[in-house]
Structure 1
Amino acid sequence: MKRNNIIRTMGISVYIAFIVFSFVVDFTPGKQIFKNFTAFSVDMLKVLPCAFILIGLFEVWVKKETVEKHFGKGCGIKGYV
């Protein structure tokens, strides 16, 4: 395994072990972390499909030249507003 994969795997393993430990010994902050993570994940799963659909429609309906005109090198201050 590459170093980044090992670090990622270790991080996920430590997180899971911490959550399991929190539920076993009734550690309230650990339970709250898990609850917040779960709520955030559910919210993201609700938003992401809509965002991907909008991005797909934008790519199909809006010409690349139009986007480059308004956000490209020559757009000036309008591209930042």
Structure 2
Amino acid sequence: MNDSNEPSADVTSLASRLATLTTEHRDLDAVISQISSAPPPGDELLLRRLKKRKLLVKDRIAIIQRLLDPDIPA
């Protein structure tokens, strides 16, 4: 990620990426809901692509959350 040895820089970078992905996930959810409620003809492919992207973003969010808060027993 960063060439610096400061873990706080990595955490800040991950937190920023997490915020960006969370916003993208929320936006995708809104678009998918809107298209699903009144689908224009021929947009099945677009809907599938949006759902696939939403799942990818969700997976990336989960990975970053695990990196920021690892589940290590004390």
Whether TM-score is above 0.5 comes out as: no
Q: Which has the higher contact order (CA 8 A, sep 6+)?
A: 2
Structure number with higher helix proportion = 1
The interval holding the TM-score normalised by the smaller chain is: 0.3 to 0.5
Q: TM-score, normalised by structure 2?
A: 0.42
